[in-house]
Amino acid sequence: MYDLLDQVFYHLSFPKSMSVTNKIRFNNLRGDIFGGVTAAVVSLPLALAFGVASGVGPIGGLYGAICVGFFAALFGGTPTLISEPTGPMTVVMTAIVASMTAANPDNGLAMAFTVVMLAGVFQIIFGVFKLGKYITLMPYSVISGFMSGIGVILIILQIAPFLGQPAPKGGVMATVQSIPDLLSKINPPEAILGIITIAIIFLMPKKIKRIVPPQLIALIVGTIISLTVFQGVEIRRIGEIPVGLPPLQFPTFSAGQITTMFVDGVMLGMLGCIDTLLTAVVADSLTRTEHKSDKELIGQGIANIVSGFAGGLPGAGATMGTVVNIQTGATSALSGLTRAIVLLIVVLGAARLTEPIPMAVLAGIALKVGIDILDWSFLKRSHQVSMKGSIIMYGVLLLTVFVDLIVAVGVGVFIANILTIERLSEMQSGEVKLITDTDDDVRLTPEQKELLDKGMGHVLLFYLSGPMIFGLSKAIAREHNAIKAGEALVMDLTDVPLLGVTASLAIENAIRDAHDKGLQIYIVGASEKIKARLHKLGLFEFITEEHIMGDRTEALRHAVDLVNNKQMGKPSV
């Protein structure tokens, strides 16, 4: 049957005029359908675990997986990407739900879903303004520390349900402070179920993992044990899940929380972009294709808006689901659509089967996700790669866990960029030189060397090379201060492709100071953009058009002639 359908739909695809949608083709039905079904099997236990962990409830996790998965696959820019609630997104959503419900018990949950919609709106804005390529443009040490910090948060938040206790109110710090109390009140049956779940996921042979996801087996085995071995024992379970389509959640705002909601929306949207685009890169490496990052962000934004309306968790590209999808033969977005439809059928027809699932089992599954999020590879060798990078990574990790996610990323990016600019500035400062003779280490032609010798120290060559960023203003000022006396200054900008504002002002100071000392100024090799900037600074008021040249040798020749004419008492040309 599949072979016949493959032949019938081999040449069918959505026309180019419908480029608003993802690459949906019907020439690989077998691979796409099998990939979608397999990805759905992988997603089910994770969606339930993340829904419970976030405080929204299991149905929120399921509808997040359905809505985000379907609409991101339909409108995204990565054909084989599987989108669903992820560990990092769940951690942020958990904090949002807790803060919103604490501030407004009546409408807090609706406000949290509004934040999900806002995150989707911001993702669409990022995509429309083509910011996709900049989203992940941050140092790896910051990304590693941030993701590892989220992993630690997810692990900490699962300690209470893993031990059979309700989660303490107050998030990470409250849970850490409550650990002694949680251990003293441990519920042995639920703790055993949690340990069994972790053991199954960790110890399952790879051969079986390739056939059935270990999370699903752990979910089934843990539930069966709780119903048989621990029959009659009080165990906290998922409970009743409403069957049918979810009630719509309309945008709800609170005057006192509107600023917080917008900030949370930006943070959630940014995290979803980073999570998605990093996963899209993984998909590219496996499929030897190239995703459309801006289109993908628009698709993710639409998906999260719909998920917020449906009362679902926010989502992003999921590495595990994407890899499984590709490995089982998927090549187009049809697999993502199939996965979402399969999950919808499960919710509408088999939701009651999930009611007896123990909370401790879901905590064990989420705990393993937290462990997997930790960047073990970089954590083990970061100090060997770079001590500064290691300090940044651990600093971001600690700030993420104990302070705030936005603060962590902001501080990490700021420090990493400052260190990078300092390092680049030190390297580049050697290319800012004031040359008065031929002993300086600058590539000069024999004729240029001869001309400088003829200048007898009265002709100064100010040579700059490379991008003139703000970190070089100090080097320019240092060489500028070395200008004592002379007759002519040749400012060579031939090898300057970029002139920043701060460096422009430093050059302006050097030129104006030289002019005040009576030196004739020659500008060499300035590009049209650099000329325009110098003109805006008002420097061409005292630099004549004849003194703006394209060749260093010609400028030096004019400067030497000027010096010689002055010494001979002739008027300068």
pTM of the model: 0.76
202: which residues sit within 8 A by CB, 6+ positions away? 368
Q: Where are the beta strands (DSSP E) in 429-557?
A: 432-435, 459-465, 488-495, 520-524, 548-549
Q: What is the pLDDT along the chain (573 residues), one digit of tens a residue?
A: 444 434 433 444 444 434 677 778 888 888 899 889 989 988 989 999 999 988 898 999 999 999 999 999 999 999 999 999 998 999 999 999 999 998 898 899 999 999 999 999 999 999 999 988 777 677 888 888 988 998 899 899 999 999 999 888 777 888 899 999 999 989 999 999 999 999 999 999 988 887 888 888 999 999 999 999 888 888 998 888 777 778 889 898 888 889 999 999 999 999 999 889 888 988 888 888 888 899 999 999 999 999 999 999 999 999 888 988 898 888 999 999 999 999 999 888 877 788 898 999 999 999 998 898 888 888 888 888 788 889 999 999 999 898 887 788 889 888 988 888 787 777 766 667 666 655 555 677 888 888 888 877 788 888 888 888 777 777 777 777 777 777 888 888 888 888 888 888 888 888 888 888 888 889 998 888 888 888 888 888 888 888 888 888 888 888 888 877 776 655 554
Q: What angle do CA 369, 371, 373 make, to 5 degrees?
A: 70
- Check residue 552 and give its pLDDT: 85
User: How far is 110 from 108, CA to CA, in rounded Å?
Assistant: 5
Complete DSSP assignment for 23-52: --BSTTHHHHHHHHHHHHHHHHHHHHHHHH
Q: Identify the burial level of 79 via C-beta atoms within 10 angstroms of its C-beta, where 0-12 means exposed, 13-18 middle and 19 or more buried.
A: buried
- Check residue 442 and give its pLDDT: 60
Strand order of the β-sheet with 432-435 is: 432-435, 459-465, 488-495, 520-524, 548-549
37: which residues sit within 8 A by CB, 6+ positions away? 338, 339, 342
41: which residues sit within 8 A by CB, 6+ positions away? 212, 213, 216
Could you give the 3-state DSSP secondary structure of residue 60? helix
Q: List the structure tokens of 536.
A: 């805006």
Torsion angle of C-alpha atoms 436, 439, 444, 446, degrees rounded to 10:
100
Asked if residue 352 lies in contact with residue 111, where contact means CB atoms within 8 angstroms, the answer is: no
Cα–Cα nearest to 547, from 480, 490, 462: 490
Domain assignments of the chain as residue spans, ordered by start = 24-160+174-238+248-382, 430-567
Describe the crossing of helices 108-128 and 293-309 by its angle, rounded to 10 degrees. Answer: 160
Fold of 430-567: Transcription Regulator spoIIAA (3.30.750)
Asked if residue 297 lies in contact with residue 132, where contact means CB atoms within 8 angstroms, the answer is: yes
Asked if residue 317 lies in contact with residue 81, where contact means CB atoms within 8 angstroms, the answer is: yes
Please state the separation of Cα 263 from the chain's center in Å: 16
In the DSSP assignment, the letter for residue 13 is B
